[in-house]
């Protein structure tokens, strides 16, 4: 008799544990923080407290509990706790692998990419072939203007994380030519090291350039930094030291990146210094970066 009673208790306890685990797993499945962009352009961040094929119910900090129909959701993705700072969602860097133009030791993930436009004429793109190798290309379409010669280039790159989110090394090349001109090849081979995360880092690089079939006799050095300033902003500096046969040039830049939707607007000034310069020059920089490549969404929505 005692054995029968004990067996019944064990069955009841097992049944209770199964029910409890089912409830807990359902709560964990729903209680996830997400970022939602709706078809009308609004964005929301909150905890999913309920969802089905027709709707998603969010618990938000400022609006309380809201219900969003699936047909109104343009994009929905999970948010890591580190992405929330003082109640605000810190958007992903739309071009974490580069500063204004110079690359760093981080690489694009396989299938991810971006398009970059600088001052309308300068066009380039890059896409991740694997998590460690990317390939890009660019063009300045001067052929649109009275048949002028057109510079074009490709940009293979590799990236190796030596310590995740802390220290990366990489290297690559810019290999180009001016279409319509003879012996007009140009480019640079480079290596670099990046210390820090994708949001806050510094990079030291060195490269050798060539033009018209002749290689530079001295390397070019590069020192860059990128630091997060808020939910949608970065401070950026990109700097070069170029040693020539007759003069040395230092090129310093200061500026920033503003995240608009998911694109990045870069702005700044490039200031050259040289021993033979007679005055001060500041060259403005304005560019936009648009990322592409779908990320995995929550609840089956893209």
> Using one digit for the tens of pLDDT, what is the confidence trace for 124-173?
999 999 999 999 999 999 877 766 789 999 999 999 999 999 999 999 99
Give the pLDDT confidence of 80-136 residue by residue, as tens digits.
666 777 667 788 899 999 999 999 999 999 999 999 999 999 999 999 999 999 999
pLDDT of residue 42: 83
**CATH architecture entry for 2-89:** Roll (2.30)
What's the pLDDT at 7?
Answer: 52
The reported pLDDT for the residue numbered 3 is 47
pLDDT score for 46 = 81
- pLDDT-based confidence at 31, cuts 50/70/90? low
Closest CA to 172 of 204, 211, 136: 136
CB–CB of 166/195 below 8 Å? yes
Residues 93, 199: Cα–Cα separation, whole Å = 7
Summarised one tens digit per residue, pLDDT across range 249-268 is 999 999 999 999 889 999 99
User: Looking at 43-52, 189-198, 201-210, which range is the least confident one?
Assistant: 43-52
Nearest to 135 by CA among 159, 119, 100: 159
Q: What percent of the chain has pLDDT over 70?
A: 84
Q: Could you state, in order of their start, the residue ranges of all structural domains in the chain? A: 2-89, 113-292
* CA dist., res. 261 & res. 284, Å (int): 24
Which fold is adopted by the domain 113-292?
A: Porin (2.40.160)
């Amino acid at each position: 008799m005692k054995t029968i009673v004990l067996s019944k208790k064990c069955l009841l306890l097992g049944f209770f544990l199964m029910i409890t685990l089912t409830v807990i797993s359902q709560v964990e499945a729903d209680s996830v923080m997400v970022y939602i962009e709706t078809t009308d352009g609004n964005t929301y961040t909150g905890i999913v407290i309920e969802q089905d094929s027709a709707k998603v119910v969010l618990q938000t900090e400022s609006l309380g509990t809201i219900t969003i129909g699936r047909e109104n959701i343009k994009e929905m993705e999970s948010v890591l706790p580190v992405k929330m700072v003082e109640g605000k969602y810190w958007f992903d860097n739309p071009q974490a692998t580069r500063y204004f133009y110079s690359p760093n030791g981080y690489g694009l993930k396989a299938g991810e990419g971006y398009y970059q436009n600088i001052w309308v004429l300068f066009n380039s793109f890059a896409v991740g072939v694997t998590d460690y190798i990317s390939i890009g290309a660019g063009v300045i379409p001067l052929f649109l203007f009275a048949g002028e010669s057109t510079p074009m280039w490709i940009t293979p790159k590799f990236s190796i994380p030596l310590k995740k989110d802390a220290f990366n090394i990489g290297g690559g090349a810019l290999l180009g030519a001016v279409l319509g001109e003879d012996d007009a090849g140009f480019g640079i081979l480079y290596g670099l090291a990046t210390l820090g995360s994708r949001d806050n880092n510094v990079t030291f690089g060195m490269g050798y350039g060539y033009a018209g079939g002749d290689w530079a006799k001295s390397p070019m050095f590069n020192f860059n930094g990128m630091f997060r300033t808020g939910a949608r902003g970065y401070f950026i500096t990109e700097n070069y030291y170029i040693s020539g046969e007759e003069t040395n040039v230092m090129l310093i830049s200061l500026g920033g990146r503003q995240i608009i939707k998911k694109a990045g607007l870069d702005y700044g000034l490039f200031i050259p210094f040289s021993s033979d310069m007679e005055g001060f020059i500041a060259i403005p920089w304005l560019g936009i970066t648009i990322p592409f490549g779908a990320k995995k969404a929550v609840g089956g929505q893209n």
